């Protein structure tokens, strides 16, 4: 029988039948330590009882109504999110790409109302904003765009972490800047101190919207509710998704200031976005993050893990950089290392390699001290073996 699924994913040779906390169990009963959390989705780990209870209760009550009607639990989640972000309004979608599409539409409408016939958004190199067409056009990865043209126009690409380049791109058509406060898919790239403040000042000077994609970095992963809160700024638009529902599909586009009232009735919509089931999951996530002090936990464990990686790996030839914030950690090597994903899987550890040579770690925020040590031990051993093999290929000895 042929595979009924479109081959859009290069899948690893494992499937999981259940999960609990930081662990997944495959169909043969083998347990795997999850240092990826579904790419930053399961911040509370797998099958968290608070989320499971909320979903079961809501599923027995009401799963879906159209956005033609008021949805009280959606209003409750919206109120919590805008308060946490210091913004004013929210639009709910189903994913990060949809949340970014909402932000892009919002920026264009904002521009048109200011008399800009062809509004443009500044976007950054190495960015990843999703795979729908407008989000793909905003994405700074040529290989992801290849073959899908013509892509929507209206984006101007600038180097990441370079406020001077953003300033130099200013012209009458620019209406907004869209960046990730930490680039995830691009290689866990943390910008220099002052970068977001500089963009904020630039946007204020020109009347642009500052729009931050926190699809991967949001909901506590960096030790704050949102990564921008490390920098003491207030953006105009913030997009969320991944960890917001702990696995239940939900995205959000938050807006404040001049962006708060741009979208109105008929300007945008979503059939499933913010339905009662997804919003109950979102409320359970926020309640649990607050109750269990998981933001502080992410910051503490992130610092501890990065310190261990620095001590064990930074002195070695072939390790370019160890970086991150909270439990969003990248280890960049000199040479490509995608094979480490499979080798980690053999040792029952789930990791990811992005940008070809950056080991990306995004474990659940419920990670225990012992589990963090196990991740560190395994990753350090894998990197040393990789470096030794690379050195052997070159006929040298690793430092």
Inter-residue contact 363 to 327 (CB < 8 Å): yes
Taking residue 230's Cβ as centre, other Cβ atoms within 10 Å add up to: 19
The answer on whether 131 is annotated among ligand-binding residues is yes
The answer on whether 97 is annotated among ligand-binding residues is yes
| Cis peptide upstream of residue 150 (ω within 30 degrees of 0) | yes
- Using DSSP's 3-state secondary structure scheme, residue 271 falls into coil
The answer on whether 292 is annotated among ligand-binding residues is no
Taking residue 348's Cβ as centre, other Cβ atoms within 10 Å add up to: 17
The answer on whether 389 is annotated among ligand-binding residues is no
Sheet with 251-255, side-by-side order of all strands: 89-93, 251-255, 237-240, 209-213, 174-179, 120-124, 155-158
251-255 and 352-354 beta bridge pairing? unpaired
Residue 190 Cα to chain centre, angstroms: 13
H or E stretch covering 285: helix 276-291
Angle at 190 between CA 212 and CA 41, to 5 degrees: 65
**Cα-based distances in Å from 267 to 102, 109, 228:** 10, 9, 28
The answer on whether 271 is annotated among ligand-binding residues is yes
DSSP secondary structure string, 151-195? PP--EEEE-TT-HHHHHHT--TTEEEEEE-SSBSTTTSBPPPTTH
**Cα-based distances in Å from 221 to 115, 353, 367:** 39, 18, 12
Give the sign of the dihedral formed by CA 255, CA 257, CA 259, CA 262. positive
The answer on whether 139 is annotated among ligand-binding residues is no
Query: Which positions are annotated as active-site residues?
Result: 128, 213, 242
| Binding site members | 96-97, 128, 131, 213-216, 270-271
| Binding site members for N(2)-acetyl-L-ornithine | 131, 270
| Binding site members for pyridoxal 5'-phosphate | 96-97, 128, 213-216, 271
């Amino acid at each position: 029988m042929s595979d009924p699924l479109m081959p859009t994913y290069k899948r690893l040779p494992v499937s999981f039948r259940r999960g609990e906390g930081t662990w997944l169990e495959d169909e043969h009963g083998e347990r795997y330590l999850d240092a990826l959390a579904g790419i930053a989705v399961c911040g509370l780990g797998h099958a968290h009882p608070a989320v499971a209870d909320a979903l079961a209760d809501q599923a027995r009550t009401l799963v879906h109504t159209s956005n033609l009607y008021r949805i009280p639990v959606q209003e409750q989640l919206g109120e919590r999110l805008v308060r946490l972000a210091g913004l004013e309004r929210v639009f709910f979608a189903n994913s990060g790409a949809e949340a970014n599409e909402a932000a892009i539409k919002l920026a264009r409408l904002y521009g048109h109302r200011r008399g800009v016939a062809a509004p443009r958004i500044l976007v950054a190199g190495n960015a990843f904003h999703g795979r729908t067409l407008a989000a793909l056009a905003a994405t700074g990865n040529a290989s992801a765009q290849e073959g899908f043209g013509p892509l929507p126009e209206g984006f101007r690409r600038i180097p990441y972490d370079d406020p001077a380049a953003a300033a130099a791109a200013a012209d009458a058509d620019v209406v907004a800047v869209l960046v990730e406060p930490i680039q995830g898919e691009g290689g866990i790239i943390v910008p220099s101190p002052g970068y977001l403040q500089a963009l904020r000042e630039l946007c204020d000077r020109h009347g642009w919207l500052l729009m931050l994609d926190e699809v991967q970095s949001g909901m506590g992963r960096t030790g704050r509710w949102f990564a921008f809160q490390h920098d003491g700024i207030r953006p105009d638009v913030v997009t969320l998704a991944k960890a917001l529902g702990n696995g239940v599909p939900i995205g959000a586009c938050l807006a404040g200031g001049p962006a708060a009232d741009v979208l109105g009735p008929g300007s945008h919509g979503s059939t499933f976005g913010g339905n009662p089931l997804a919003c109950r999951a979102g409320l359970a996530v926020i309640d649990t993050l607050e109750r269990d002090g998981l933001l502080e936990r992410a910051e503490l464990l992130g610092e501890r893990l990065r310190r261990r990686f620095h001590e064990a790996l930074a002195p070695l030839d072939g390790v370019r950089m160890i970086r991150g914030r909270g439990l969003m950690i990248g280890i960049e090597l000199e040479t490509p290392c995608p094979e480490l994903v499979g080798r980690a899987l053999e040792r029952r550890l789930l990791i990811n390699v992005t940008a070809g040579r950056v080991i990306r770690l995004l474990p659940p925020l419920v990670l225990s001290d012992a589990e963090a040590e196990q991740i560190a031990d395994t990753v350090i051993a894998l990197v040393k073996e990789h470096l030794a093999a690379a050195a052997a290929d070159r006929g040298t000895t690793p430092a």
